Amino acid sequence: MSLIAVVDYGMGNLRSVSKAIEHVAKNSDRVIVSSNPADINNADHVVFPGQGAARDCMHELQARKLDAVVLKAAAEKPFLGICMGMQILLTHSEENQGVECLDLYPGNVRRFKDNMHDSEDLKLKVPHMGWNRVRWTQEHRLLENIAQDSRFYFVHSYFAEPSDSSLIAARSDYGIDFACALAKDNVMAVQFHPEKSAADGLQLLKNFCHWNGQP
């Protein structure tokens, strides 16, 4: 039996994430949503979701004394970041006039420009919202049974730009080519929402539940 903890710091779509994981987890697995550091420390797998502004997310993490707990989990066990849970793993975000983030990976989070156009010269709206193709740039166990160029659901105005390009596990295009997944060792983090991404999103979550943290 595995204990899968979804980190609750008041800034994520926790019900959708936890229900999706429950749907694909083994019958013997237990899924909890918790802000208790002991629960997260004792979990076998940790999911770190997030929605909202970077400043608010960092404030809530620090106020609940979960910032160090999240970094410890990312160092020790299978760890999945989702949306803002990917962005704030980097050093700094441009959002809210600049926010210092968790600095697990050196890099910055930048805003999409307002004057972007697609390949047919149609103006693109910010936030980037809806389905988009994902191009995998690494082989990874979380991608088993997920085809190249599968479509996932995005909602974001900012994108991750890690200093080390070898961290990038997938890219997508929205006026620019941007990193939409990062992976290193026992950590995978995605900009899109697997819990909202139909069969392929559920497959990624299922792969995570079965993952032992080895690349």
Active site residues: 83, 193, 195
Provide φ and ψ at 114, rounded to 5°: -80, -15
Q: Which residue has the tokens 């990312």?
A: 74
Closest among 202, 204, 194, 213 to 82, alpha carbons compared: 194
Answer yes or no: are the C-beta atoms of 197 and 153 closer than 8 Å: yes
Answer yes or no: are the C-beta atoms of 80 and 207 closer than 8 Å: no
Answer yes or no: are the C-beta atoms of 70 and 22 closer than 8 Å: no
Which helix (H) or strand (E) element contains residue 117? none
Q: What is the dihedral of CA 17, 78, 98, 117, to 10 degrees?
A: -60
Which helix (H) or strand (E) element contains residue 111? strand 105-111
